[in-house]
Amino acid sequence: MVTFIPFGEKPNRDGVLYVLELLKKNMLIDDYIIVESNNIELLSERLPSDNAYIVGEHLATYGIIQKLKPNFLISIDAHTDLMHDYLDHGSWLAFALENNLLKRASIIGSVVMIPTTEGTQLWTRRVKIFPALPRSRKVRGVWRAYKSLKTHSVEEILEEAQKYLGNEVYLTVDLDVLKPEYKIARFQHGELSLEELLDILEGIKKKFKIVAFDISEISDKIKRSRLGKRALIDVFQLLSGG
């Protein structure tokens, strides 16, 4: 079964419902459920324990984690979602780690690393970041480079992630990790092509047992994007085994 979660503002809700019809039209789903909630805490109570979720605002992944209680998570995302001020789509992973809903997490493909609100810090504990582009951080007064998709192969990145997380993970794929021309997400897009994203996902499928997955940050922009529709279908087929 596939669970559709039209969570968030109207563009997110409309986008998820459009994707439901898109997947039905392409005969990629037959058994599904729609779960709605305006409250993240209530969302987790309403969700079934499923293998696949299609999500609007990425905050809904926090509710899924509350429901499924996975130990380890991989996030494919243009943003780290490690802002640490209040719980929303830009901080859900930080709060999931802080509240011990997860033991550890890895983020692959991010381009936006730095907090944008004054006084906000980036959560750094029990998480490893593998950016899309070269990035560095200060560690005990010394600048050290992250392992990035530009400086290391996908195989090397996933080997490192597996050492950190083990063999069994929950996978969340935020489609804003794709380049702007895919026109799926509402906010800043990332640097990956569809081919690069699929290469990463193929590697994760080979190296990890995926206990469940979600595809998130769907918006109504996808209605007008031929590349976006193709990307959504290809990612869903790969992860669902269809």
The pLDDT value given to residue 197: 98
In this structure, what token pair is assigned to residue 90?
A: 């830009």
The pLDDT value given to residue 120: 66
Q: Which contiguous run of DSSP H or E holds residue 179?
A: none
CA dihedral for 14, 15, 16, 17, sign (positive or negative): positive
DSSP state at residue 180: G
pLDDT above 90 coverage of the chain, percent: 79
The pLDDT value given to residue 7: 94
Report, as an integer, the average pLDDT of 232-240.
Answer: 97
> HSE-up of 158 (CA within 13 Å, CB side)?
18
The pLDDT value given to residue 119: 59
The pLDDT value given to residue 118: 57
**pLDDT at 79 exceeding the cut of 70:** yes
The pLDDT value given to residue 113: 65
DSSP state at residue 177: G
Nearest to 96 by CA among 127, 117, 120: 127
Cα–Cα distance for residue pair 15/6, rounded to 1 Å? 8
| 91-149 residue pLDDT tens | 999 999 999 999 999 999 998 765 555 556 778 899 999 999 888 877 677 788 889 99
pTM above 0.85, yes or no: yes
The pLDDT value given to residue 114: 57
The pLDDT value given to residue 86: 82
Q: Which residues pair with 132 in a beta bridge?
A: none
| 14-71 residue pLDDT tens | 999 999 999 999 999 999 999 999 899 899 999 999 999 999 999 999 999 999 999 9
Helix, strand, or coil here: 117? coil
Cα–Cα distance for residue pair 27/174, rounded to 1 Å? 23
DSSP state at residue 118: T
First-to-last alpha carbon distance for the chain, in angstroms, is: 13
> HSE-up of 160 (CA within 13 Å, CB side)?
17
Contact 187, 176 (CB under 8 A): yes
Output the average pLDDT for the chain: 92
| 179-209 residue pLDDT tens | 999 988 777 889 999 999 999 999 999 999 9
How many domains is the chain partitioned into structurally? Answer: 1
Residue-wise DSSP of 3-26: EEE--SSHHHHHHHHHHHHHHHHT
Give the CATH number, domain containing residue 222. 3.40.800.10
Full domain range(s) for residue 203: 2-240
